[in-house]
Chain A
Amino acid sequence: MEITLVGLCKYFVAKDKTVTKAVDNMNLTVPSGKLIALLGPSGCGKSTTLYMIAGLHTPTHGQIFFGDDDVTQVPPEKRGIGLVFQNYALYPHLSVRQNISFPLENERMPKDEINKTVLEMAKLVDIEPYLDRKPNELSGGQQQRVAIARALAKRPKVLLLDEPLSNLDARLRLQTREEIRRIQRETGITTIFVTHDQEEAMSISDEIVVMRQGVIQEIDKPQNVYDNPINLFVAMFLGTPQINVFSGTLHKNKVYIGGNFREKEVVDENNVKSIEYNYEGGNEFYLTDIAIPEGKKAPDKPEKIFVAIRPEGFNAEKLAGNENSEIKQSKEEATKGIIKAKVDLVETIGRDTTLIIEDPTAPKKFFKAIVSADKKIEAGDIVELSVKPHKMYVFNKEGDLI
């Protein structure tokens, strides 16, 4: 079942008449049989979107289509959806079996058929031994799976999951999300998965929808969103450790970090006045040439920008020297995009090492680089860093990709 949202809006009006645009002009197509993740920080309108699709909230504007049917005004029970709530909402006084059969009893399904379905669902989510327990006698992960079983029992056309893993511990979360992926593949049910955890969204979904303050930022395959963030917000929201952001200057297709430009009025031989900008560097460096996409003009004036580099976007080599050695960076090196810096801290997690490096252009500011643990870099070492070009993104002051 393909789900299409057209110009969907939900405005909440508070008592003092202030309007919260929880969801604003949302356009989205969820292909049939796919799992897509709604990703965004807390309060960005993910649950609101989900509840509108479920029919628990009425949209302020816009339409919702299931296939070709406009279901905007259809009550929840007629939409054929299964919803798993953020904290499961299992009925605490009913056993697991009764919880799963509850929606089926509403449909007046015959008894033996109910029993059959319950067993089938229990098998699917692997909770058969717990059928006669009460929800509070189950672990979080088991409750989670019961909630999914209950949602799937009436064979919905659409499965909606609202942050289903947020109450689980890290290991269980990993396990359950694989479980959800498996169940989704097995049933082939169109699924919308809400989460604020980018890693979860990346690992589980066919497509990611990144939201911010009720507005969709980017829709794409997880890797594409990660590789081609459309703006600084998306770049910063995806990836752990977070992407490193430097403020810099863009001038004539070159990116400068640190330093500044001095304006100088020059008069050429034809007596035409123009302004020349001279970079005044010191310890600063410029990184690399960037290609300005066609159709966009590189500004004549140096423009303040943000440079974002993924932690894994650095090549690092250990240099001879110790903690007290001066960092000497030649202008030549700087123009080649080579940065020399001191490693402040090192976190080794298995095969990778995260270097926490002091920003040479801004003392007391740090950035992170992930390198192979084989490099044996330690705190206090001086490293020479270069940047992998496709791991670097340049955004304008508004945060949009240049």
Chain B
Amino acid sequence: MLEGKNNWKAWLYLAPALILLGIFSFYPIINSFIIAFIRDYHPVSEVFRQNVENNQALGLSFFTFKNFITVFKNANFEYAIKNTLLIALVSVPISVILALVISVLLISIKKLRGFFQTLFFLPYVTSAMAVAMAFTVLFANNGTASAGISQGPINSVIDSIGLKNGLTNMLDWMNYQESGKESWQAYICVDSSGEIDEDKLSDKYQTYVNLQTLLDLPIEYGDMYAYQTYLADQTDVYNSYRYHFRELGYIDWVGAQATWGSAILVVLTYSIWASLAFKILVFTGGLTSIDKQYYDAAKIDGTSKWRTFWRITVPMMSPLIVYILITSLIGAFKVYTSIVGLFGSGMGPAGSAGLMQTFVGLVYQYLNEGNELIHVGAAAAVILFTIILIITALTNALTKKRVHY
């Protein structure tokens, strides 16, 4: 009935939505693609338009790739790419798997199911900023351990389950991977007055220094006592590089001394946790719609829980899983708010702004610099669009064979 002569009615009903979408979505999208290729575009003074009007003969002279080059040359471009990709490609798969497991467990319990469902759904209805602020409190590092100041909950837990050293080493490794700088480390044992105290050669009083970068010393990793002696003799060296010493025991996750490794771990944790809620909501809905008879049949055939999950639950949920995977990937590529929430608009720990830069952050950065760089922002957005397009297409292609509609 909507076909044929009544067609105009359908268009009429769609008109409000179409007009709004046109003004606020389609036009800006097309426009940003155009702007991205325009030299020195200035939206207010309309330099570009004047140029065109005055230089008809110049033809395509306003067309340029320069904007893209500018983006690539941004000091934090590498961070933006690295962080965005890492967040998308690590946190999304983990959170999908985690959400699926939690949903299956949720469905299988009878008592308190509603309670837990609500609990898991709470992050969804909480402001991202509020969650991020809560995270900064959780991950707080309130100074040195020797001073006996109480730590943030995460650090306290890490301390009490004895993960301090392991985590610190892992972060060192991550930072090494990230910066590519050889991080020769030596552990020395110094008490607060700068004296070596062998009795206190325990976790709590260990400090470490990246000797290569600080002291430029040709020392082998693990040659501990040599440095101890060396440093003990040179209290002034220790003091002058005091800033670079940090307590092994407590990690500064989001504070001024946070490193790339610690910061990205917090961001990943945040992304996974905050995105669980919606996924669990969708998955539990999908799970309850699977006919119970399949599980009865599997039970009678003596199928193990593990096999039931992989051979029945996952294939039956596969359309939903792929849907969630793709929408979450796209969402993750647009990561921005959470970084601002965790680190402020500097997009990084206080000491090193831009360390947690993301792609959308980059776009905003150009937009925030007044009208001068709007075209560069547009170019950054086009790059992001292309990356998302490629990743989505890849995901689609990879999952196609495994999805059972």
Contacts and interface: CB of A to CB of B under 8 A. Distances in A.
Whether chain B is bound by chain A comes out as: yes
B300 A87 contact: no
B311 A81 contact: no
Provide the main secondary structure of the chain B interface: helix
A89 interface: yes
B12 interface: no
Contacts, number: 58
Given A106-B302, A106-B303, A91 B312 contact: yes
A148 B298 CA distance: 15
A106 B296 contact: no
A56 B291 contact: no
A94 B293 CA distance: 15
- Interface size class on chain A is 20 to 34
B294 interface: yes
Contact of B301 (A86, A92, A94, A154): A154
Interface string A88-110: 01011110000000110011000
Most B-side CB within 10 Å, residue of A86, A93, A154? A93
B304 interface: yes
Interface in B280-319: 291, 293-294, 296-304, 307, 311-312, 315-316, 318
B297 A89 contact: yes
A290 to B, nearest CB: 49
A54 interface: yes
B302 A83 contact: no
A87 B256 CA distance: 63
A85 B316 contact: no
A154 B298 CA distance: 13
A85 B301 contact: no
Most A-side CB within 10 Å, residue of B296, B297, B300, B404? B300
B302 to A, nearest CB: 3
Contacts of B318: 93
Most B-side CB within 10 Å, residue of A54, A77, A94? A77
A81 B300 contact: yes
Nearest to B312: A91
Interface string A224-268: 000000000000000000000000000000000000000000000
A76 B293 contact: no
Contact of A103 (B291, B294, B302, B304): B302
B319 to A, nearest CB: 10
Interface in B200-236: none
Given A91-B312, A92-B404, A102-B311, A83 B304 contact: no
B315 A93 contact: yes
B225 to A, nearest CB: 57
Contacts of B302: 76-78, 103, 106-107
Contact of B299 (A76, A92, A93, A94): A76
28 contacts: A51-B296, A56-B296, A56-B299, A76-B300, A76-B302, A77-B299, A77-B301, A77-B302, A78-B302, A82-B300, A83-B297, A83-B300, A85-B293, A87-B291, A87-B293, A89-B293, A89-B294, A89-B296, A89-B297, A91-B294, A91-B311, A91-B312, A92-B316, A92-B404, A94-B311, A102-B301, A103-B302, A106-B302
Interface of A: 51, 54-56, 76-78, 81-83, 85-87, 89, 91-94, 102-103, 106-107, 154
